Amino acid sequence: MAPTNKQWVSKLDGVAKLEMVEGEMPVPKDGEVLVKIHAVGINYRDIEVCEGKYSHHQTPSDSPSGVVICSDMCGTVLETKSPLLRAGTRVMSVYLQTHLSGALRQSDLESGLGFPLPGVLAEFRCFDARALVPVPEYLTDEEASCLPIAGVTAWMALNWMRPIGKAFQKLDLYGQGGKRDDDDDDGDEDKKKKEKEKETVLLQGTGGVSIAGLQIAKAAGLRTIITSSSDEKLEQAKKLGADHTVNYRTYWEWQDQVLEATGGKGADYVLEVGGAKTLRKSFASVAFGGTISCIGYVSGKEDDTGDDKGEAAGWNRLNVNVLALRRNVTLKGLINGGKDRFEEMVRFYEDKGIRPVVCKVFGMGEGREALEYVKGGKHFGKVVVRVDKE
């Protein structure tokens, strides 16, 4: 009997209707490699795909009515028809398979794993060898599977404005020199001053991107503020080095807490994952000249104008361009980064010894349960499906 390939397929009609089916064993073409998949990281995007709601990016008009889901995997090359990778190499997938370097192009969106291309929640898959990144030896399969979207997106939110190879170097925007303030060996008073002037990162929630951002920012020596509705999760964030935590149920106007924690300055970087119900508070939290990276929309995609009266209603009516202008803010839509930035991030992870936070691991037969777990917002960090048995 010919070997088969178990894989989770969605007809874009809901997580509850996901099906695990038997597919044919893939065969690599010239330039490709066959990968045995060990672990798959789950993203919020995967839930949107399953529910037929991933429609805000322009993709081909003949997008599939059914697709193998998920984009983030760690696996081992079994067979190679490319000189780039040898059999036995552990690899991670690049989310947008054609985005290898430079700026993202619209055409790259057509190469998204898990939609519109077949994804990675399967036992085996063939990849173009150019669209894979070797795994650092110190990372487990589960940890490595967390990096393609969450890790790279967080990395780009903090470094997209810097040329590759210049991560976390102070920007020389005004001809004032390119060294970071904390690079000099100065006296105690200068050190105190520089500690006060240290750049601040605001992270929303405790999902995959935010926790990756927390780990990267702390490793880079930045100050961090993180929000959550759970005091328990905030305590976990403190153990990862979060400098300030804010429960947004206790402090609904959490931007006030951000400003208090920064002495009124605001956060230099905001990783905006909330969307409709958080963007205006992000504008109120950002420092003058800071950046807001629009990454997600877990609180919705459409403005909630409500029926507020008075000052709140006026705030809601302010156009986004006015909100950006009033604090000289750079508002950046951010999908992911290219393979070159992925490799840059991996070097940083290796240098700092960063290990992604894996919240819970499901078995291959529990793919549906894994997505439901993420959908319910129960996770801290990343949820992973172990495809093969160790």
Report the domain count for the chain: 2
If asked whether residues 91 and 204 sit together in one domain, one would say no
Whole-number pLDDT of residue 306? 54
**Rounded Cα gap, residues 309 and 291, in angstroms:** 30
Whole-number pLDDT of residue 190? 64
Answer whether residue 179 is part of any domain: no
Give the number of other CB atoms < 10 A from CB of residue 288.
11
Whole-number pLDDT of residue 304? 52
If asked whether residues 361 and 283 sit together in one domain, one would say no
Answer whether residue 55 is part of any domain: yes
Check whether 76 has a pLDDT greater than 70.
Answer: yes
If asked whether residues 224 and 310 sit together in one domain, one would say yes
Answer whether residue 248 is part of any domain: yes
**Rounded Cα gap, residues 245 and 255, in angstroms:** 12
Check whether 321 has a pLDDT greater than 90.
Answer: no
Helix 208-219 to helix 339-352 angle (10° resolution) is 60
Q: What is the mean pLDDT of residues 186-191?
A: 64
Answer whether residue 97 is part of any domain: yes
Q: What is the mean pLDDT of residues 359-382?
A: 96
Q: Is the four-CA dihedral 52, 55, 57, 61 of positive or negative sign?
A: positive
In which residue are the tokens 């397929």 written?
A: 9
Whole-number pLDDT of residue 261? 97
If asked whether residues 295 and 364 sit together in one domain, one would say no
Mean pLDDT of the chain: 89
Answer whether residue 193 is part of any domain: no
Range of the structural domain that residue 84 is part of? 4-148+356-386
Give the tens place of pLDDT for each residue, 2-13.
Answer: 688 999 999 999
Q: How confident is the model at residue 176 (pLDDT cuts 50, 70, 90)?
A: very low
If asked whether residues 291 and 209 sit together in one domain, one would say yes
Answer whether residue 257 is part of any domain: yes
318: domain CATH number is 3.40.50.720
Whole-number pLDDT of residue 325? 72
Whole-number pLDDT of residue 323? 75
Check whether 302 has a pLDDT greater than 60.
Answer: no
Reference 136, options 341, 336, 349; nearest CA is: 349
Answer whether residue 166 is part of any domain: no
In which residue are the tokens 């110190």 written?
A: 138
If asked whether residues 127 and 18 sit together in one domain, one would say yes
- Write phi, then psi, for 142 (nearest 5 degrees): -65, -45
- Compute the residue count for the chain: 390
If asked whether residues 142 and 208 sit together in one domain, one would say no
- Write phi, then psi, for 266 (nearest 5 degrees): 100, 175
* Cβ atoms of 99 and 338 closer than 8 Å: yes
Q: How confident is the model at residue 237 (pLDDT cuts 50, 70, 90)?
A: very high
If asked whether residues 327 and 360 sit together in one domain, one would say no
* Cβ atoms of 73 and 120 closer than 8 Å: yes
Residue 390 CB burial class (10 angstroms; 0-12, 13-18, ≥19):
exposed
Check whether 170 has a pLDDT greater than 70.
Answer: yes
| Cα separation values, 279 from 7, 268, 283, Å | 37, 15, 6
Whole-number pLDDT of residue 181? 45
If asked whether residues 318 and 362 sit together in one domain, one would say no
In which residue are the tokens 């970087």 written?
A: 269
Check whether 252 has a pLDDT greater than 80.
Answer: yes
| Cα separation values, 204 from 12, 26, 223, 334, Å | 28, 40, 14, 15
If asked whether residues 361 and 314 sit together in one domain, one would say no
Check whether 125 has a pLDDT greater than 60.
Answer: yes
| pTM tops 0.85 | yes
